[in-house]
Amino acid sequence: MAYARSRWDSCTARGSVRLNWQLIRMPLRLIDYVVVHELAHLAEMNHSPAFWRVVATACPDYMKRRCELRGWRLAAASL
C-alpha cells in the first residue's frame, strides 16, 4: 500500500504492484476491480484487447465497475 496523489494503483515491468491506501474507502467490488486490473498487467503490460480479456475472465462486469470507479476521487493529503 502506498500514497499517490493521482493513481489508485500501478504495476511495474518487474511485476511490482502498488495500491493506494485510499482504496479502503471504496466498496469492496471496486477494490476487487482495481486489484484484478493490476494483476492482469502481470500477464499483459498494456491495455490491449488481450488485457481486457484477462480482466473480464476474473471480473465479467468490469466495464460497469470501471465507470463507477471514475466517480471516485483521490482525497488530498491532509498533513
Per-residue pLDDT of the chain (79 residues; tens, 9 = 90+): 444 455 566 777 777 888 888 888 899 999 999 999 999 999 999 999 999 999 999 999 999 999 998 888 765 444 3
Q: Which of 61, 17, 24 is nearest to 39 (CA)?
A: 17
Query: Can you give the pTM of this predicted structure?
Result: 0.79
Give the pLDDT confidence score for residue 3 in this predicted structure: 44
In whole angstroms, give the CA distance from residue 63 to residue 15.
Answer: 24
